[in-house]
Amino acid sequence: MSGLPAGPLPEPDLESAVWWDGLREHKILLQQCGECGRPRFPPLPSCPWCASATCHLMESPGHGTVYSYVTAHVPMSPGYETDLPYTVATVELAEGPRILGRVEPPTPVAVGDRMAPRFFAHPTWTELYFAPANAPADDPALAAADGGA
Amino acid sequence: MSGMAAVAGVGYTPFTRASGRSVLSLAAEAVANAVNDAGLRLDEVDGMGSFMLSDDSVPCVAVSSALGLGQLRTTLDLQLGGQAPCHLVWQAAHTVARGDARVVVVYRALNGRSGARVGSMRFAGMGGQYRYPIGYGAYLMYVGMWAQRFLHETGQGAEDLGAVAVGQRVYAQENERALRREPLSLDEYLAEPYVVDPYRRSDCTAEVDGACAVVVTSLERARDLAHPPAVVSSGCYRAGPRPGLDIGDHLLWEDYTRNYTSWLRDDLFGRAGVGPGDVDVAEIYDCFTSTVLMGLEGLGLCGRGESGAFVRSGACALDGRLPTNTGGGLLAEGYLHGMNTVAEAVLQVQGRGGPRQAPHHDVAVVTSGALMDGSAMILTTDR
């Protein structure tokens, strides 16, 4: 990984602050409905299936499969020119919710591929990205790029 | 209400890459052209509707002011993109059918190439924080994310997307408004590098500066005007379940292989009293090639997973059984966010397609939108 880019910063809101705080500690915290039990992402004030406002947090190990993906070959927005080409995957977590993440280091992926979570510490936020599940977790290049976080 | 209102005329400005004009100037010209095309006078206009994304256009009151119109009995300004045109025309049809207004003009105007470009626009909303910081920041990436899954699940691929681009370019050669009129072969298409896999350049709409408008009035009135009425037989808006937090958020959408067309199909055809097999002409919203395939399947105009073969068979060509996107579509004519898709359907039903006129044009279907929500109409001749 060339170092994940410094694009627009996340702007946490009252619903999502706990998500971003969790990532900083390398925790993937999903809301789980207190009524119907379904975990959800993104964070919402109520359940998108039963509308219940009661929920608690559950920690996901972050393993899942590629539901779909796109690979950018030309700059789509300022700040990402040096990363090209790069892939963004929609990963369906084992718990059900789908999450977006970059695939790093750049690796060809296919629908259905098993993916594992990785974390990258930017100066002010931590990014969740994904690597193929068979990739070594302690790739030296990745560890070096991770800023020691 | 079905069949009580009609589209009587259409208006355009030239489509360019740098208009050098204000959006208000473009809007006023297209509206005036549409009213004139219908054989109406500007002082008969008493209603307007339009839409914009991130304030990239001008509201109805501004156009009314610029054109010196009298009182407006209705306006509807929507913060939507390509989901809006059929939705607005359908609302206009209701308005004139109720007698709330007599002549309603629906327009879209923007400097979409030289000004704010939707392709790289950041949409407001709670969903952006999960997209923009990771480089997932362009509309074509979102539609591409759906396309990749759609192609995978339905067993289709690059040749199927390419067939759409190639076929629509044939129509564009007969459309002097179109931005991309040069012929395109499948080999040339396949040789293009990816922009965002699975899309090449010719899979993507051409962003333009310009404006387009259509005029809605009662069917009774339309019968006395300049052109045969394009009867608004039915219309339908639909947002499927869990449509997301904003226009670019689709994480809660369950099935990326089926968009809003699958959800509104039964209501759309049911209200019109026709079925997919009765459609003579289709104008399917095509910001990208994949939405044509998904729309053909979603509306039941062909079977699941068969859209690519359907297009490759020539069915969507002028001499095929379902001429589709007869003006070259947004891909080749230009990205007026589906307002021009509606206008092309009107021209076809009115029999004004010239060298690209479909031989049978009693029933046309037109759609607006690509993903979770959108709208559609059935337009018919005055039968």
Could you tell me if B290 and B205 are in contact, meaning their C-beta atoms sit under 8 angstroms apart? Answer: no
Most B CBs within 10 A among A68, A124, A128, hence the mutation to make, goes to: A68
- Domain-wise residue ranges, chain A: 12-60, 62-149
Q: Check residue A147 and give its pLDDT.
A: 39
Residue B113 has pLDDT above 70, yes or no: yes
- Chain A contacts of B129, Cβ < 8 Å? 10-13, 16
Q: How far is B150 from chain A (nearest CA, A)?
A: 9
The angle at the Cα of B192, spanning B355 to B309, to the nearest 5 degrees, equals 60
Among the partner-chain residues B134, B149, B194, the one whose CB lies closest to the CB of A100 is B134
The overall average pLDDT reported for chain B is 97
Residue B244 has pLDDT above 60, yes or no: yes
Active site annotation includes B335: yes
Among the partner-chain residues B138, B149, B249, the one whose CB lies closest to the CB of A76 is B138
- Reported for B116-123, long-range contacts at CB under 8 A and 24+ positions apart, including other chains, are B116/B54, B116/B56, B117/B207, B118/B53, B118/B56, B118/B81, B118/B207, B118/B335, B118/B337, B119/B204, B119/B207, B120/A76, B120/A77, B121/B53, B121/B54, B121/B56, B122/A8, B122/B54, B123/B53, B123/B54, B123/B246, B123/B247, B123/B248
- How many C-beta neighbours within 10 Å does residue A108 have? 10
Tokens encoding B260: 């809003």
Helix axes B260-272, B289-298, angle to 10 degrees: 50
What's the rounded mean pLDDT across residues B365-382? 98
pLDDT band, very low/low/confident/very high, at B2 (cuts 50, 70, 90): confident
Q: Check residue B122 and give its pLDDT.
A: 82
Most A CBs within 10 A among B121, B141, B148, hence the mutation to make, goes to: B148
C-beta atoms of B133 and A111 within 8 A: no
Q: How far is B248 from chain A (nearest CA, A)?
A: 12
Query: Which of B345, B327, B348, B341 has the alpha carbon at shortest distance from B285?
Result: B341
Helix (H) or strand (E) holding B220: helix B219-222
From chain B residues 150-179, the ones with a CB under 8 A of any chain A CB are: 152
Q: How far is B152 from chain A (nearest CA, A)?
A: 7
Q: Check residue B373 and give its pLDDT.
A: 98
- Domain-wise residue ranges, chain B: 5-117+205-380
What's the rounded mean pLDDT across residues B45-59? 96
C-beta atoms of A90 and B251 within 8 A: yes
Among the partner-chain residues B141, B145, B194, the one whose CB lies closest to the CB of A76 is B141
C-beta atoms of A77 and B120 within 8 A: yes
pLDDT band, very low/low/confident/very high, at A4 (cuts 50, 70, 90): low
C-beta atoms of A5 and B135 within 8 A: yes
Could you tell me if B307 and B297 are in contact, meaning their C-beta atoms sit under 8 angstroms apart? Answer: yes
Phi and psi based region of residue B39 (left: phi greater than 0; alpha: psi -120 to 50; beta: remaining): left
From chain B residues 115-134, the ones with a CB under 8 A of any chain A CB are: 120, 122, 126-134
- Reported for B150-158, long-range contacts at CB under 8 A and 24+ positions apart, including other chains, are B150/B256, B150/B257, B150/B290, B150/B293, B150/B294, B151/B198, B151/B290, B152/A68, B152/A111, B153/B257, B153/B305, B154/B257, B154/B297, B154/B304, B154/B305, B154/B307, B155/B305, B156/B293, B156/B305, B156/B307, B156/B308, B157/B308, B158/B190, B158/B198
Among the partner-chain residues B128, B149, B197, the one whose CB lies closest to the CB of A71 is B197
pLDDT band, very low/low/confident/very high, at A5 (cuts 50, 70, 90): low
What's the rounded mean pLDDT across residues B36-45? 98
E strands, chain B, in order: 5-12, 47-52, 74-79, 103-111, 194-197, 199-200, 209-218, 230-239, 281-283, 363-368, 373-380
Q: Check residue B225 and give its pLDDT.
A: 98
The answer to which of A58-72, A104-118, B34-48, B114-128 has the lowest mean pLDDT is B114-128
Global ipTM: 0.95
Q: How far is A77 from chain B (nearest CA, A)?
A: 6
Which CATH architecture best describes the domain A62-149?
Beta Barrel (2.40)
Q: Domain B5-117+205-380: which CATH class?
A: alpha beta
C-beta atoms of B137 and A98 within 8 A: no
Among the partner-chain residues A12, A13, A88, the one whose CB lies closest to the CB of B134 is A88
Q: Could you tell me which residue, A65 or A146, shows the higher pLDDT?
A: A65
Among the partner-chain residues B120, B127, B194, the one whose CB lies closest to the CB of A76 is B120
Residue A109 has pLDDT above 70, yes or no: yes
Tokens encoding A42: 């993104």
Active site annotation includes B285: yes
Share of chain B above pLDDT 70, in %: 100
What's the rounded mean pLDDT across residues B68-74? 97
Could you tell me if B204 and B288 are in contact, meaning their C-beta atoms sit under 8 angstroms apart? Answer: yes
Most A CBs within 10 A among B120, B130, B154, B254, hence the mutation to make, goes to: B130
User: How many C-alpha atoms does B155 have within 13 Å on its Cβ side?
Assistant: 5
Q: From A67, which residue of chain B is nearest by alpha-carbon distance? A: B149
Q: Check residue B120 and give its pLDDT.
A: 75
- Chain A contacts of B146, Cβ < 8 Å? 68
B12, B142, B237, B335: which one is catalytic? B335
B328-363 per-position pLDDT tens digit:
999 999 999 999 999 999 999 999 999 999 999 999
Q: How far is A98 from chain B (nearest CA, A)?
A: 6
Q: From B150, which residue of chain A is nearest by alpha-carbon distance? A: A68
Q: Omega before B59 cis (within 30°)? A: no
pLDDT band, very low/low/confident/very high, at B124 (cuts 50, 70, 90): confident
B303-323 per-position pLDDT tens digit:
999 999 999 999 999 999 999
C-beta atoms of A76 and B137 within 8 A: yes
What's the rounded mean pLDDT across residues B282-286? 98
From chain B residues 267-296, the ones with a CB under 8 A of any chain A CB are: none
pTM of the model: 0.95
Q: Could you tell me which residue, B222 or A147, shows the higher pLDDT?
A: B222
CA–CA distance, B213 with B9 (Å, rounded to integer): 8
CA–CA distance, B190 with B171 (Å, rounded to integer): 20
Please state the φ and ψ torsions of residue B330, each to the nearest 5 degrees.
-65, -30
B169-213 per-position pLDDT tens digit:
999 999 999 999 999 999 999 999 999 999 999 999 999 999 999
Q: B140 and chain A: CB distance < 8 Å anywhere? A: yes
Residues 6 or more apart whose CB falls under 8 angstroms from that of B74 comprise B46, B47, B48, B49, B95, B100, B101, B104
Q: From A78, which residue of chain B is nearest by alpha-carbon distance? A: B135
Residue A128 has pLDDT above 60, yes or no: yes
